[in-house]
Amino acid sequence: MISPAQIKILKHSKNRGKFLIKPLSPGFGITLGNSLRRVLISDLEGYAIYYIMINGVKHEFSYIDGVIENLTEIILNLKQIRFKLKSKMYNKIPEHFTIFLTKKQSKITAGDLCGSITCLEVLNPNLLILNKELDANLKITLGIKKGVGYVPVEKPQTKIGKIPIDTIFSPIINVRFKVETCEVNNFYSSDSLIIDIRTDGSITPNKALKTASSILVQHFTLFFNGKKTELKLPIKYTAYKARIKYFYMQKLLKCLKFAKIKTWADLVKMKPSDSDYNYGGGLDLSKYKMKISNKKKRIKNFREKMRKIVKLRNLIKRRKLTKRNETPK
């Protein structure tokens, strides 16, 4: 098994990062690449709009006076706004934000929302939201919250005018990876993984990669009861089934040692409820009139019998010699 020797940063900026991981055991390039890509896209946190309310609008197919775009087009634009928490001091943001658009301007962009959304930074302020007539006044209420990945609308509209939106919380725009062969000890038999990450700017690619790796590690530690382990498998246990058996037997032996099980009699007397593995029969050996002795006692009894046998043998030899001496020549 080859352990990665280095992680090299090929390119890094606010929203773009390219990383090289090598060397890897054959096949591990695709394994790690797929795992990291899936976690990066679907399991990182971000802020997004999840509902909208506009004065005079009852449902998503309503016509808005003085606005060129229909509500469906406005919702599609709002879904593209990217947010970033301005400071860690804001542990909890408000449930909704109300924006009054009364300016004598026809073009409304995401930057026009910044004055009302004080705890969040709009990362793409030039994004077009809608075009309106100069004398048109709008009152817009936006619900913004923190979430993970992509969340589709499941519940229907519960309040008249409150329109739910499919929400994209993920701060990752795109993730691509490529697996190549690399040279180790003059042999081209190892993998090298090149992973390219693009974010919306609310998180750096380096931090995104670390966060995704941490999520994977947290899930893998569940196989070891959430505790770190220094266990190193022997080389012969490389097959999957052999590894599982190895871990199982090691944990079983620790369990038996903890329960002070030394003999088969101790095991069959133990109740299944006393063991994590439901071993034991809970048998009462007293009705079988079996005397269970420990190893030291058995050895002591064996030695005592051997002494008696030797003593008896020596006594017989002496008697034979005595009879020979007493016999007349």
Question: Do the Cβ atoms of 307 and 313 come closer than 8 Å?
Answer: no
Structure confidence by residue, pLDDT tens digits, 155-173: 666 677 788 888 889 999 9
Task: Give pLDDT, residue 44.
Answer: 92
Q: What is the pTM of this model?
A: 0.60
Mean pLDDT lowest for which of 21-25, 239-243, 294-298? 239-243
Structure confidence by residue, pLDDT tens digits, 172-206: 999 999 998 877 665 567 888 999 999 999 999 99
Question: Do the Cβ atoms of 52 and 99 come closer than 8 Å?
Answer: no
3-state secondary structure 68-81: CCCHHHHHHHHCCC
Give the DSSP H or E segment for 247. Answer: helix 240-258
Task: Give pLDDT, residue 177.
Answer: 94
The whole-number average pLDDT for the span 322-326 is: 72
Give the DSSP H or E segment for 129. Answer: strand 128-131
CATH number for the segment(s) 47-168: 2.170.120.12
Whole-number mean pLDDT of the chain?
78
Mean pLDDT lowest for which of 24-28, 34-38, 118-122, 248-252? 248-252
Q: Could you tell me the pLDDT band of residue 241, with boundaries at 50, 70 and 90?
A: very low
> Percent of the chain beyond pLDDT 90?
19
317 or 324, which is more confident: 317
**What are 268's two structure tokens?**
């069959």
Query: What backbone phi and psi angles, to 5 degrees, belong to 195?
Result: -120, 130
Task: Give pLDDT, residue 232.
Answer: 47
Pick the CATH number of 6-44+172-224 from 3.40.50.10300, 3.40.50.300, 3.40.190.10, 3.30.1360.10: 3.30.1360.10
Q: Could you tell me the pLDDT band of residue 233, with boundaries at 50, 70 and 90?
A: very low
Structure confidence by residue, pLDDT tens digits, 260-295: 777 766 766 766 666 555 555 566 656 555 555 566
Residue in 56, 7, 28, 11 with CA at minimum distance from that of residue 191: 28
Residue 246 above 70 pLDDT?
Answer: no
Residue 16 above 90 pLDDT?
Answer: yes
Task: Give pLDDT, residue 127.
Answer: 92
Task: Give pLDDT, residue 175.
Answer: 95
Structure confidence by residue, pLDDT tens digits, 92-136: 788 788 888 776 778 888 888 877 888 888 999 999 998 888 888
**What are 256's two structure tokens?**
């038996």
Residue 231 above 60 pLDDT?
Answer: no
The whole-number average pLDDT for the span 286-306 is: 68
